[in-house]
């Protein structure tokens, strides 16, 4: 469904708050995102962020920081963080070794700080 249809139906149901939806659903820039939602009488509460945490050569902090900054700029205060597998789809999953688990947990601690 198009964003217009979804937001229009949400407005029709009397909903006044929403999360951002998947990438590309709303404009990327925080100000444009907030303005778009406001045109339907809706405000953002936050969003879902799948992020690669177990790969020792990938630093997730810049992506997390940018997402949080975007939330703050739109007045949203909730981030639902999920550890991404790093592969497309839902059928394949990496098997984490001790280093992968340690990296994932260390990155969660870094994000929490």
Its pTM surpasses 0.75: yes
| Mean pLDDT computed over 57-85 | 95
Q: Which CATH superfamily is domain 3-112 in?
A: Divalent-metal-dependent TIM barrel enzymes (3.20.20.150)
Kindly provide the b/e burial profile for residues 44-56, where b requires at least 16 CB atoms within 10 angstroms of the residue's own CB.
bbbbebebbbbbe
Encode pLDDT of 11-25 as tens digits: 999 999 999 999 899
**Residue 85 corresponds to which tokens in the numbers above?**
């597998």
């Amino acid at each position: 469904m198009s964003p217009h249809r979804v937001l229009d139906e949400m407005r029709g149901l009397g909903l006044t708050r929403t999360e951002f939806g998947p990438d590309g659903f709303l404009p990327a820039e925080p100000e444009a995102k907030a303005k778009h939602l406001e045109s339907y009488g809706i405000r953002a509460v936050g969003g879902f962020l799948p992020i690669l945490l177990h790969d020792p050569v990938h630093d997730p902090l810049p992506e997390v920081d940018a997402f949080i900054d975007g939330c703050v700029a739109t007045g949203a205060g909730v981030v639902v963080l999920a550890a991404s597998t790093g592969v497309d789809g839902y059928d394949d999953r990496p098997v984490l070794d001790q280093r992968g688990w340690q990296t994932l947990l260390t990155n969660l601690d870094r994000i929490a700080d």
